[in-house]
């Protein structure tokens, strides 16, 4: 079945450090890929998305490129801030062949990020 794998956390970085969170996926159809962020005590917020191969999603300084050849969607940010401390979830939603609508979202286990001053 479809699945998402993320790098193990927690990740601790100093402010202004470079961030990479690895994500790989398994899917049989035509997935769209997402990064969601969850701040402490809150629900999920969509951070960015990409809907087809080679698309780059970006938001708030975060970027991720849909790599079909490596089935990856790694999240990057050039300079993290303390306010970026949160749990990051890689996810996919797949549209099966010849269907027009998207199905459920499948999430990875999440990667906790702590940024220290």
Partner 1 sequence: DAGVTQSPTHLIKTRGQQVTLRCSPKSGHDTVSWYQQALGQGPQFIFQYYEEEERQRGNFPDRFSGHQFPNYSSELNVNALLLGDSALYLCASSLLVVNEETQYFGPGTRLLVL
Binding footprint of partner 1 on the chain (CB under 8 A): 4, 32, 34, 36, 42-46, 49, 51, 89, 91, 93, 95, 100-110
Q: Which of 2, 12, 29, 24 is nearest to 80 (CA)?
A: 12
| Minimum CB–partner distance for residue 115 and partner 1 (Å) | 20
Considering the complex, state which of residue 70 and residue 100 has its C-beta at the smaller distance from partner 1: 100
Residue that the structure tokens 């193990």 belong to: 8
Considering the complex, state which of residue 13 and residue 107 has its C-beta at the smaller distance from partner 1: 107
Considering the complex, state which of residue 21 and residue 32 has its C-beta at the smaller distance from partner 1: 32
């Amino acid at each position: 079945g479809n699945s998402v794998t993320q790098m193990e956390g927690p990740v601790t970085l100093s402010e202004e450090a470079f961030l990479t969170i690895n994500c790989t996926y398994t899917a049989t159809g035509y997935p769209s890929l997402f990064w969601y962020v969850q701040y402490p005590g809150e629900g999920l917020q969509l951070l960015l998305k990409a809907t087809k191969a080679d698309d780059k999603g970006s938001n708030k300084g975060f970027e991720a490129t849909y790599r079909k050849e490596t089935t990856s969607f790694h999240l990057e940010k050039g300079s993290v801030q303390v306010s970026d401390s949160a749990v990051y979830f890689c996810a996919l939603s797949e549209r099966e062949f010849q269907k027009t609508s998207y199905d459920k979202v499948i999430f990875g286990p999440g990667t906790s990020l702590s940024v220290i001053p």
